[in-house]
Amino acid sequence: MTQYKIPVIPGDGIGPEIIREGRKVLETAGEKFGFDIEWIEYPHGADHYLETGELISEDTLKDLSKYQAIYFGSIGDERVKPGILEKGILLNIRFYFDEYVNLRPVKLLEGVWTPLKDKTAKDIDFVVVRENTEDFYIGIGGRAKKGKSKKTLEVIRNMYNVKFGLDITSDSEEIGYQLGLISKEGTRRVIRYAFEIAKNRNKHLSSVDKANVLSDIYGFWREEFTSIASGYPQVKTDFNYVDAVTMWFVKNPEFFDVVVSPNMFGDIITDLGAMIQGGLGLAPGGNINPEGTSMFEPIHGSAPKYKGLNKVNPIATIWAGALLLDHLGEKEASRQIVQAIEKNIVNNKIKTYDMGGSNTTTDVGDDIARLLKEI
């Protein structure tokens, strides 16, 4: 029997409750498909931070690097200033393990309501590949008051180091600035990853940018996309400005197969994608390094007001677990988990409040595990 060791970080708020149900369904898949999961739980989150002052240490990150995939619940707590936990734990993990792909399936399951009139499950089934480590999310910027000032800003990555030396002269009372950066190495690898997915789906890849206004940074993106496209003649391609693509997601979602985007625009369009597939409670995500440690999580937050009430929807977390199994090579198990989720929804009997029901988080997890056994 194959054995997988999987670190799990339940995190804050509803995190432990939704992760509990995800673990239940993955363990059921293991029983059915002949693999075993040993969970290695880590305490990192608000409680751990408030007790110890530690976000996540270098030693913990080195320990996590021994594993292929991390199962992550949610992060964020009203007792801690916004951004501290998110940057100190979640983003730290993404950057440390160079998880340069954010993978977001946008798939409307049968039986799920979508706000798009006359669209059905056959119309909404695409994948967004978001670059996850560069663009305006590299976290360098600052403020400068009137007069002259100097600042040195540095970006350190596994592939490169970049240093900006800024001499600022301003007669404004105060300015704020943020620097964005994309590299040839970072751009080419995520675009290539997206082409590989498209090659194995419906052979259509759409690129998203804003090259008509931010021509230096996103014109560069287009050049690299065009260069890589020449190596995939079987894949149809098109370019889309981010403002236009938000319209087309709503009007013609059936047009899209695989979408690839720089970091900032990918962040925006994937939340729109989550809404058209039925809402945040149904949307999973993967932070992927194909050659290293990856992390899988629901895209919603920690919802602290629902903590301990056993009432939130665990489907996004269970679906994220299916992505995790697919990443480990357990593709049939992953496929059947999604099928069991869909059966639960179509049956329309066991459902949480957000889907019009009154069942608990545990009830939904139990039902999906039961349906998985029956498939």
- Give the Cα separation of 204 and 196 in Å (integer): 11
Global pTM? Answer: 0.94
Check whether residue 255 and residue 287 sit in a common domain. Answer: no
pLDDT for the residue 270: 96
What are the start-end ranges of the H helices in the chain? 15-33, 46-52, 58-64, 84-85, 92-96, 184-199, 215-229, 242-251, 263-276, 315-328, 331-347, 361-374
Q: Which CATH number does the domain housing residue 294 bear? A: 3.40.718.10
pLDDT digits (tens, 9 = 90+) for 52-68: 999 999 999 999 999 99
C-alpha to C-alpha distances, 333 to 81, 293, 327, 363, nearest whole angstrom: 39, 21, 11, 21
Can you spell out the DSSP letters for 240-308?
A: EEHHHHHHHHHH-GGG-SEEEE-HHHHHHHHHHHHHHTT-GGG-EEEEE-TTS-EEEEESS---GGGTT
Range of 162's domain?
Answer: 136-179
- Give the Cα separation of 285 and 327 in Å (integer): 12
Question: Mean pLDDT, to the nearest integer, of 335-346?
Answer: 98
Considering its fold, how many domains does the chain have in total? 3
Provide the 3-class DSSP secondary structure of residue 344. helix
pLDDT for the residue 157: 85
Check whether residue 199 and residue 237 sit in a common domain. Answer: yes
Check whether residue 28 and residue 74 sit in a common domain. Answer: yes
Check whether residue 40 and residue 88 sit in a common domain. Answer: yes
Check whether residue 175 and residue 262 sit in a common domain. Answer: no
* CB-CB contact of 367 with 350 (8 Å): yes
Check whether residue 101 and residue 89 sit in a common domain. Answer: yes
Check whether residue 25 and residue 96 sit in a common domain. Answer: yes
Residue type, 359: N
What percent of the chain is predicted at pLDDT more than 70?
A: 100
In the listed set 215, 250, 277, which residue is the last one of a domain according to the structure? 277
Provide the 3-class DSSP secondary structure of residue 49. helix
Check whether residue 90 and residue 237 sit in a common domain. Answer: no
Check whether residue 59 and residue 191 sit in a common domain. Answer: no
* CB-CB contact of 93 with 99 (8 Å): yes
In the listed set 179, 203, 236, which residue is the last one of a domain according to the structure? 179
Check whether residue 120 and residue 247 sit in a common domain. Answer: yes
In the listed set 240, 258, 277, which residue is the last one of a domain according to the structure? 277
38's enclosing H/E stretch is strand 35-41
Residue type, 136: F
Check whether residue 352 and residue 336 sit in a common domain. Answer: yes
Check whether residue 95 and residue 240 sit in a common domain. Answer: no
pLDDT digits (tens, 9 = 90+) for 77-102: 999 999 899 989 998 999 899 999 99
Question: Mean pLDDT, to the nearest integer, of 294-312?
Answer: 96
Length of the chain: 375
